[in-house]
Amino acid sequence: MRAMTCPAYGPPEIVEPRELPTPEPGPDDVLVRVRATTVTAADCAFRSGRPFAARLYAGLVRPRFPVLGGTFAGDVAAVGANVRRYSVGDRVLGLSPHDFGAHAEFLCLAQDRPMARITGDLPYTEAASIVEATTALTFLRDVSPIRPGQKVLVNGATGSVGSYGVQLAKHYGAEVTAVCGPANADLARSLGAERTIDRTRADPTRPGTPEHRLQDVFFDAAGKSSFGRARRALTPTGTYMTTAPDPSALVHSLWTARGRGRTCRFATAGLRQSPDTLAHLDALAGSGAIRAVIDGVHPLEDLADAYRRAESGRKAGTVVVTC
């Protein structure tokens, strides 16, 4: 099978094409013919080895997982003897957050991993993008459930996580403020934001400015702010949630866990998913509650270009790769 491999840590140019044996499914495994995948912030970290904390999981000296890619959409190509959940030909979407492998033509994973059927006619590229909504869903539904009428600020509102954060917060009945670049303000409003803030000209955490309003939830989808800054924009019982599990976020999360005031929360979202989560996202997409936001589509052979785009700081939505 064709695969893009990462033989060492480095820049996007480090990835290279290779022919690898097609995996053989075991009794409880499903073999998926990958049709589309994505390049996420996690992929960028595990490819580059930065921040250094990424190496604690992926390997200190060289990558333990030469084929990256944690999201996928495709067809079931084969199933093991004990598999009952899926059949050959099923269209599926899902996650491979533990050992990755989706930047290849085929991916083998256990039937109980986070995967679900695509029940409608969602294109593979859109299905792969929808999978990236798992992070926003984990925070806004599970970590700190959004209630109707709450005020929610999404920082990085048009990125791959933030674009779904805006949609889900709106779906749960929140009043949404989107922080993004000026070129993406219209996109943020189309996703459901009532107001937008130009991140290049204003700081919503700075008291005394027109953009400063107290929020019930500050969802730092871009992982670029901090609890220390965000607390200035929170109500007395507000919650700051970040996708960046840096040491300060961990300390503040533990410190505020038992308090009744402002709290800091973060979660390893990819490791908390289940087949039900993916089925729920498929249903939300099928009902029109959320829609795929795609920055661009790149063929597998151009994976280095997809990495460059993902790291450019200019993308809007998900960087999708077709296999």
Domain boundary among 270, 288, 303: 270
User: Does 180 lie in the same domain as 101?
Assistant: no
What is the count of structural domains for the chain? 2
Contact between residue 38 and residue 71 where contact means Cβ atoms under 8 Å apart: yes
User: Does 100 lie in the same domain as 195?
Assistant: no
User: Does 277 lie in the same domain as 213?
Assistant: no
Q: What is the DSSP string of 75-98?
A: EEEEE-TT--S--TT-EEEEE-TT
Query: CATH number for the domain including 297?
Result: 3.90.180.10
Quote the pLDDT of residue 260: 73
User: Does 21 lie in the same domain as 75?
Assistant: yes
HSE of 81, CA atoms in CB hemisphere, 13 A: 2
Q: Look at the pTM and tell me if it is higher than 0.85.
A: yes
Quote the pLDDT of residue 245: 66
User: Does 137 lie in the same domain as 126?
Assistant: no
User: Does 96 lie in the same domain as 86?
Assistant: yes
Query: CATH number for the domain including 178?
Result: 3.40.50.720
Q: How far apart are the C-alpha atoms of 61 and 79, rounded to whole Å?
A: 35
Per-residue pLDDT tens digits of the chain, which is 323 residues long: 999 999 999 999 999 999 999 999 999 999 999 999 999 999 999 999 998 888 989 999 999 999 999 999 999 999 999 999 999 999 999 999 889 999 999 999 999 999 999 999 999 999 999 999 999 999 999 988 999 999 999 999 999 999 999 999 999 999 999 999 999 999 999 999 999 999 999 999 999 999 999 999 999 998 889 998 999 999 999 999 998 866 666 666 666 766 678 988 877 665 568 999 999 999 999 999 999 999 999 999 999 999 999 999 889 999 999 99
User: Does 83 lie in the same domain as 144?
Assistant: no
Quote the pLDDT of residue 55: 92
User: Does 95 lie in the same domain as 170?
Assistant: no
Q: Which domain, by its residues, includes 7?
A: 2-131+273-322
Quote the pLDDT of residue 126: 98
Quote the pLDDT of residue 254: 62
User: Does 44 lie in the same domain as 19?
Assistant: yes
Distance of CA 73 to the CA centre of its chain: 14
User: Does 81 lie in the same domain as 201?
Assistant: no
User: Does 35 lie in the same domain as 117?
Assistant: yes
